[in-house]
Structure 1
Amino acid sequence: MNFRDLHIAEDLASSLAKSGIEEPTAIQRAAIPHVLEGRDVIIRSHTGTGKTLAYLLPILQRIDPEQRDVQAVVIAPTQELAMQIVRIAQELGAPRGLHALGLIGGASLKRQIERLKDKPQLVVGTPGRLVELLEMRRLKLHQTKAIVTDEVDQVFRLGDRSAVERIFKGALRDRQLIFVSATVPAAMQEVIERWMNEPLYIDEAGEQRTAASLEHVYFVCEPRERIDLLIRLVKHYKPRAALVFINHTDEIAEVTEKLRFHKIEAAALYGDQPKMERSSVLDRLRLGNLQVLVATDLAARGLDLPDLSHVFSLHPAPDEDHYVHRAGRTGRMGRRGTVVSIVTAKELFIMKKFAKQLAIDIQQKELYFGRIVDPEKKELMRSTNLRKEAVRATSVKNKTKNKKKRKADTKDKGMPRWLKAKIHNQE
């Protein structure tokens, strides 16, 4: 099956083919026809499966290039995700004469107001900035027919529910609503019932909510050994690009500095970092000038880093949804990836809980003499090494004893028999 079979227009399909995308993923095959119909839909699939194109392609196709009004809005929780969506929309929509605009916090408000005068048909933005422009009457949604909330669970978790609902109210009453995420918590049900019209659930995640191409492992250590173990693991795995998740913002600087002290190219990513500084850090990672990015869940939300091979959690994720989103930073579009958690003995139950809730295999591993091994194998290797040490010690002892004996024999050589007998009787 190709995109034309899903009734995607020839020009859009050709633009995708130029980027090397010719066959739709499972979630795209399932979602595109219903989004084209104008249905309210909830798209749930693990990160890296192509959810963005699953809603963006049909929305771009439904936009009338002759109508110079905002016809569609995409709400994203972070600046990076919003701008990533804008780039894709501009690339695909430009040949059809469509104008997409990013409206994000941290960027110049005055400049965004000026660019709104160009009459974009699609705007992508963070909730706060979109509402700010609505209240200033610079952004008008009276012709908006579709609203997408990407990473919907995170948007509402960040406390932006009132802002998002303000955007819903500003659009047409019969507008199409699309919720997209790797996880849709039960707490979202109230929002779904209030705002969506007979929504269709499209769920390609199944029982396994993380990519099948991922390896999930965890290592146990004492609390004070976490950072040292992290350093050893990074040096062992040697990832081209890795993301280290920190649960508490005030630990980011310490972890970053210790990684640097051990000759690991690392940088910190904060949620409130200036836009240019964040962009610079991410560009360094993409270009291979940075090996490790240290961030919180909030700061790393929505990052698009295709070459990310490893995800490390200095502390276990707060819950299974956070674990899913952390894991989703790697193993994108079928690539292999490794998800590593560092836990204490008291936190072992958390990994077992995640394994059960997410229906995945999370294996305990040990770092022993430069090798990643199972705990049982480590004990076997340790026993084997102890036996080797014992044999080696016995061998050295016997060699020393034999050496002394040979020395004594040499010393006694040539001694008269009567003197040897006298010495023997005295002993």
Structure 2
Amino acid sequence: MGYFRHGLAFAPNHLKAHRPSYVRFASKLKHVDQTSPQLNTPLPFAGLGLSRAVGLGLESAFPAVAKATDAQATYIPAIIQGKKDVMIRGHTGSGKSFGLILALLSKCWNPLPDSRRSLPTSLLLVPHRDLAYQYMYWIGRIATATNNPSHSTPAQVIVRGQENLSSQVSRLRENPPGILIGTPQAILDVLQEDEHAIDLTDLGTVVVDEVDYIIDFISADASRDKKQRLAAKMRRHPSVGKLLLDLIYSPRARPDRSASVNNSPQLVVCSATLQTGLRQLLYRSGWLRNGAYSVVKVRSEIRAGEARESEKKVAAADFTLDAEVVQHCALVFSEDGSVNDVEGAVEPKWSLEEGAHGEEVQTSTHQGGDLLKIPVQPTEEYRVNSSAFEPVLMEGIAAVFATAVPKVALLVLPASAPVQRAVYELRALGINAFGMDLQNTEAYRGGMEENPTLVVATTATVRGIDLPDLSHVFIWGVVDANSYLHASGRVGRFGRKGRVVSVLEEKREQGGRYCRMLKSIGLIPTKFYRL
């Protein structure tokens, strides 16, 4: 289970090796007089309302995170105060998710005097299990760094497949968490099993990360007929996220909601793409508070030079698409194995193999074959059944990975693609491939540290994920603009350079569709300079 045992956070193995430094750090604090100037030294994110425990844990566990972004400086105090709802829209890599954890931990460890209970519960809804475990990873590191037993298990994760439903219900009733993280379906499953397992009336804050994925909505740009069809479909089959929020905020949806709205939990919604149609739905639904100045709207900084000519391009600007940071390439493979840049690609202005200051970056020269044993169990099945993946594309990805990726790359497949089959075929080609599984920390992160690693995921499971040292994102085929933006947003985070490489088939004439999609979000493809 890695560093998660029965859904509770504790120090992962690779942190245990560094635990003495945490112990020394915390022990030193114990012997310092409370009036000592050492305790008055400014901590990271000072002045934003973070509890001192969170500040100390942040300083020890994440020493590189020293200053809040302008967006974090706005929404962290708002979340901690809890008096207003919050709407966060910001480009990937701007620290949205990390800032949320800091605020929720502060509310958990240092509740305000007028809180309804000493340990207010925050509900954090995420679109998939890997993002839930990434949150738990951050919480575990900060909690361990404080060296305070009362801070060791502030959160629990509820996702499908983690353990049986009865065990999850029992654990929630016996040990209500300060922060409950889960997918909407898993949370709804628990409530249907036992409506008292989660006390919805006692929630202090509800956070919906990647809200545009969790809540179905109708684009403002859709035609009238399409809007009518989508509206009818949403009435017949409402998303699980909508059902859950309706359940939590049902008093707000009543005509006389003014009397009860202030007693409802604070709502925080967050995404890199908060389109007009979604924002309209959030207000119509009754989930957000009404009235002037009742919602704090936060938008992270926009980089100079990013496209802002239309609403679509403004949405694209929420992602790190600056040509000085991320290159967008497409390789077109023909049946005979030849490969070319997509038509219309321009010369790149910089080389990814040169770091920010021009130094050379060492790339992988491993040719594979002995990194990992190919799984024995599915071998016969895979031999009998034909592959869902075009061999020439798999071989092309393997070749580019072996020559261009220094540490970590990500392969993004269509939502319904068989991830484990792709991992099997990549390992057969000598690639150190893993299916994305942030719960299995020991094998997953250990493999990433030892050899250049290719992480395999789908368009449905990459949202919000932050992989250290990620330099390349490979995208299989042509995806829609929204999926492309979220997948490509995994690189270029915090100013680190990266490359997005779409892998296309010539016989399916994917090049033209790719260029049209890229143009719709204000991007121009660059040549993959190694050709």
Same fold judged by TM-score > 0.5? yes
| 2:241 is equivalent to residue 161 of structure 1 | yes
Matching residue within 364, 369, 372 for 2:530: 372
| 2:234 is equivalent to residue 142 of structure 1 | no
Shift of 1:311: 0.6
| 2:94 is equivalent to residue 49 of structure 1 | yes
SS state at 1:309 partner: strand
1:52–1:294 CA distance, 2 compared to 1 (3 A): closer
SS state at 2:66 partner: coil
Of 251-260 and 9-18, more deviation after overlay is shown by 251-260
Amino acid paired to 2:530: I
Describe the superposition over 1:297-320 as per-residue Cα deviations: whole angstroms up to 9, x where unpaired.
124344332122211012122x22
> Larger radius of gyration, structure 1 or 2?
1
Name 1:114's counterpart in structure 2. 170
SS state at 1:196 partner: coil
For structure 2, list consecutive stretches of 5 or more residues without a partner in the other structure.
Answer: 1-41, 217-237, 252-259, 303-313, 336-389
Of 44-53 and 90-99, more deviation after overlay is shown by 90-99
1:170–1:85 CA distance, 2 compared to 1 (3 A): farther
Matching residue within 468, 488, 495 for 1:306: 468
* 1:217–1:340 Cα contact (<8 Å) kept: yes
Name 1:14's counterpart in structure 2. 56
Shift of 1:180: 0.9
Shift of 1:286: 3.1
* 2:411–2:457 Cα contact (<8 Å) kept: yes
SS state at 2:123 partner: strand
Shift of 1:150: 0.9
For structure 1, list consecutive stretches of 5 or more residues without a partner in the other structure.
Answer: 366-370, 374-427
Distance in 1 (CA, whole Å) between partners of 2:199 and 2:80 is 24
Distance in 2 (CA, whole Å) between partners of 1:254 and 1:121 is 39
1:166–1:283 CA distance, 2 compared to 1 (3 A): farther
* 1:103–1:126 Cα contact (<8 Å) kept: yes
Name 1:336's counterpart in structure 2. 497
Distance in 2 (CA, whole Å) between partners of 1:84 and 1:148 is 15
Distance in 1 (CA, whole Å) between partners of 2:449 and 2:90 is 29
Name 2:158's counterpart in structure 1. 103
Amino acid paired to 2:296: L
| 2:455 is equivalent to residue 293 of structure 1 | yes
Name 2:375's counterpart in structure 1. none
Matching residue within 92, 99, 104 for 1:59: 104
Name 1:183's counterpart in structure 2. 273
SS state at 1:362 partner: coil
Shift of 1:248: 5.8
Count matched residues. 362
Name 1:405's counterpart in structure 2. none
* 2:185–2:241 Cα contact (<8 Å) kept: no
Distance in 2 (CA, whole Å) between partners of 1:120 and 1:79 is 18
Name 2:295's counterpart in structure 1. 199
TM-score (ref. length: structure 2): 0.60
Distance in 2 (CA, whole Å) between partners of 1:69 and 1:13 is 19
Amino acid paired to 2:407: R
Aligned Cα root-mean-square deviation (Å)? 3.2
Shift of 1:149: 0.4
Shift of 1:259: 2.8
Distance in 2 (CA, whole Å) between partners of 1:156 and 1:214 is 29
* 2:406–2:452 Cα contact (<8 Å) kept: no
Name 1:219's counterpart in structure 2. 331
Describe the superposition over 1:368-407 as per-residue Cα deviations: whole angstroms up to 9, x where unpaired.
xxx625xxxxxxxxxxxxxxxxxxxxxxxxxxxxxxxxxx
Name 2:382's counterpart in structure 1. none
Describe the superposition over 1:340-379 as per-residue Cα deviations: whole angstroms up to 9, x where unpaired.
11235633344434444433443143xxxxx625xxxxxx
Shift of 1:114: 3.4
Amino acid paired to 1:296: T
Superposition map of 1:382-393 within 5 A: none
Shift of 1:254: 5.6
Amino acid paired to 1:358: I
* 1:74–1:148 Cα contact (<8 Å) kept: yes
Shift of 1:167: 5.0
Amino acid paired to 2:73: R
* 1:220–1:342 Cα contact (<8 Å) kept: yes
Describe the superposition over 1:213-256 as per-residue Cα deviations: whole angstroms up to 9, x where unpaired.
22221222337643343233223313422111122644645644
SS state at 2:58 partner: helix
Amino acid paired to 1:196: L
Distance in 2 (CA, whole Å) between partners of 1:14 and 1:148 is 24
Name 1:243's counterpart in structure 2. 410
Distance in 2 (CA, whole Å) between partners of 1:6 and 1:356 is 40
Distance in 1 (CA, whole Å) between partners of 2:156 and 2:421 is 38
